[in-house]
Amino acid sequence: MYKRNQNHLQLPLMSQLDALSDKRRKGLEESWAGAFYRDFFCRLDEDIFADLYSDKPSRPNIPVNVLAGFEVLKAGFGYSDEEMYAAYNYDMQIRYAFGYRNLGEGEFELRTIYNFRQRLSEYMQEKGINLIEKAFERVTDEQTETYQLKSGKLRMDSTQIASNIRDMSRLQLLVEVLQRVHRMLSEKDQLRYKEDFEPYLQGTSGQYVYRIKGEEVADHLQPIGEFMHRLVVELREGYGEDSTYQMLVRVFQEHFTIDENDLRPRKGKELSAGSLQSPDDWEATYRRKGDEGHQGYVANLTETCDPENKFQLINKVQVEPNNIEDADMLEEALPDLKERTKVKQIYTDGGYGSPGVDEAMREANVEQIQTAIRGRKPAEEKLGLEDFDWEIDDDGKPQEVTCPHGQRAEVQPGRNEHRYLAYFDSAICRDCPFVDRCPTVPLKRRPKHVLRFSQGETDLALRRKRMVDIRSTGENLRAAVESTVRSVKHQFGNGKLPVRGKPRVSMMVIASASMTNIRRIHGYQEKMIEEKRKAREIQKQIQDAIKNVFISFWRFIQRGLLQHFYSKTAVRAIPI
């Protein structure tokens, strides 16, 4: 049965913290643990997780903010479950972060964490809602409001995240699938296929591949494909609902094809990047970035970047199979960012540009500012649409255009949708120094030069202009997001997480981002404390200086009065 955790709000009259000196207790309150307690633990809306629990009267749940906080600290410090559980039970600083003031309070078994994760994963798969993500965004929105951070400018970057799967060759993956299919079979069916499976059960899949030379791999793929095809057909009736059989069907379809009744292995580009990479992680995909291949997922991070902010916060985390394009994640994230923030500009790199993003940006009335534009560079000897000045309406549609020579023209709709025309006076164009480089075309029957363009070309031109304008200022607000990516990934070592599957990978990345935000808040709070300490020192120095001046002045007056007194006394003592 679900129940909110409000016990931590009532502080005990006596606790084990009383054994600490005032200095040490104040240090604990001002440490990261105090920041975590105030700005994450107390802000977490436990009601978000109520659907995970039964409505029937029963034993109350372990506090949700404790379980969620356990995940955040585990990811933030790179602990294993056992290390985090030990710290929860015996580390006073960790316990302070959870609102406990005495050892022995809030005890639970580690199995409770496993059950909590399982319920979260099942809920995500059934409902399509990541409750950890939902809670993170609500906490971040409160933090942004509390510290009065401006969210009109955001920046975004993606990074490769590897799940905890083995790097398998194609042949090893196929043999591994066959071995798991064999374990799925009943004893009767194992005897039936004994001779067929025998070559693939001599040790592990890795040992099978180890005994084969590179040039012999192709000779092994064909018989494996034929055997898999036979299994797909013959096992459908008895094992069709089994997940292992479904994996067999998927792998067969991804690695083999049947052309006119001839079965053959797929080659090269016929193999999809979305094909199964491991039997243990069905959602992990393959992507080649630069000279490196990656198996797993991609994490997309969005954070505030207004220079006037005291610090910046990550306010959205997305995790998808790594064959998903950056532009698709931006397009998906934009409606939520528009609803939760006051975003007017988003700073990205070249991978986030696409016609779909341009359209989404127009609808949301948000500017995209890129540090680079993906695709072919404009020819230097020719003028491009980005060299023209554009006036657009609130819907992002061009209304007027001014050429580099200064001639203005009204934009008119073309024959097809999203196509436009602009007519320039040929008499002016003939005397233009840019006429040989201009993209306009002279008309035969009218003294006009026409510029033909589409909405997509206009959007691209505007993005190029914004990129050039930002470069000319020397200000690159996107650059610092690289350090944010490292802050989220560095505790995992090489960006490989100790978990598998999209639900668990996304939860761990979000948890790490939550801890990154807490560290930034704590850093700001430390800075404020240090500034207050320095201000007090300066104030004390001023007070001491004033006091010293007053004392010196008073002593000067005293000395003058004494001299005056002695001089008068001496005069009266002179005999007449």
pLDDT tens, position by position, 216-228: 888 899 999 999 9
> Over the chain, what is the mean pLDDT?
91
pLDDT of residue 211: 86
pLDDT of residue 454: 92
pLDDT of residue 555: 83
- pLDDT of 130 over the 80 cut: yes
Average pLDDT over residues 68-74: 97
| Phi, psi values for residue 43, rounded to 5° | -90, -15
pLDDT of residue 526: 94
pLDDT, greater one: 57 or 3: 3
- pLDDT of 129 over the 60 cut: yes
- The two three-digit tokens of residue 434, written as one number: 């840019």
Identify whether the C-beta of residue 460 lies closer than 8 Å to the C-beta of residue 359.
no
399: left (phi over 0), alpha (psi -120 to 50) or beta: alpha
User: Lowest-confidence range among 104-118, 200-214, 335-349?
Assistant: 200-214
Distance (Å, whole) CA 209 – CA 175:
9
384-435 pLDDT, tens digit per residue, is: 898 999 999 888 889 999 999 999 999 999 988 889 999 999 999 988 999 8
Average pLDDT over residues 56-78: 92
- pLDDT of 170 over the 60 cut: yes
pLDDT of residue 522: 97
Average pLDDT over residues 525-544: 91
User: Lowest-confidence range among 172-186, 309-323, 451-465?
Assistant: 451-465
pLDDT of residue 63: 94
Average pLDDT over residues 512-520: 97
- pLDDT of 574 over the 80 cut: no
- pLDDT of 462 over the 70 cut: yes
What's the pTM value of the predicted model, to 2 decimals? 0.88
- pLDDT of 565 over the 90 cut: no
- pLDDT of 474 over the 80 cut: no
3-state secondary structure 378-425: CCCCCCCHHHCEEEECCCCCEEEEECCCCCEEEEEECCCCCEEEEEEE
The pairs formed by 379-386 with CB atoms below 8 angstroms and a separation of 24 or more are: 381/437, 382/437, 382/439, 383/434, 383/437, 383/438, 383/439, 384/439, 384/461, 384/464, 385/439, 385/453, 385/457, 385/458, 385/460, 385/461, 386/460, 386/461, 386/462, 386/464, 386/465, 386/468
Count of residues for the chain?
A: 576
What dihedral angle (degrees, nearest 10) is formed by the CA atoms of 526, 92, 19, 28? Answer: 0
pLDDT of residue 87: 96
Instruction: Find, among 304, 364, 348, 32, the residue nearest to 144 by Cα.
Output: 304
258-294 pLDDT, tens digit per residue, is: 987 789 999 888 888 899 999 999 999 988 877 788 8
User: Lowest-confidence range among 8-12, 120-124, 238-242, 538-542?
Assistant: 8-12
349-393 pLDDT, tens digit per residue, is: 989 999 899 999 988 999 999 988 876 777 778 898 989 999 998
- The two three-digit tokens of residue 484, written as one number: 């944010």
Quote the Cα angle for 59-63-65, to 5°.
160
Average pLDDT over residues 313-323: 95
Distance (Å, whole) CA 431 – CA 428:
6
Type and span of the H or E element at 319: strand 314-321
- pLDDT of 572 over the 60 cut: no
Confidence grade of residue 571 (pLDDT, cut at 50, 70, 90): low
Average pLDDT over residues 526-555: 89
- pLDDT of 576 over the 60 cut: no
Based on the number of CB atoms within 10 Å of its own CB, is 576 exposed (0-12), middle (13-18) or buried (19 or more)? exposed
pLDDT of residue 288: 81
Distance (Å, whole) CA 231 – CA 459:
52
Average pLDDT over residues 43-67: 91
- The two three-digit tokens of residue 209, written as one number: 């591949």
Instruction: Find, among 8, 7, 10, 20, the residue nearest to 96 by Cα.
Output: 8
Confidence grade of residue 59 (pLDDT, cut at 50, 70, 90): confident
Based on the number of CB atoms within 10 Å of its own CB, is 175 exposed (0-12), middle (13-18) or buried (19 or more)? buried
Task: Give percent of the chain with pLDDT exceeding 90.
Answer: 68
Distance (Å, whole) CA 35 – CA 522:
6
- pLDDT of 16 over the 80 cut: yes
Average pLDDT over residues 446-465: 90
Distance (Å, whole) CA 149 – CA 521:
12
pLDDT of residue 396: 83
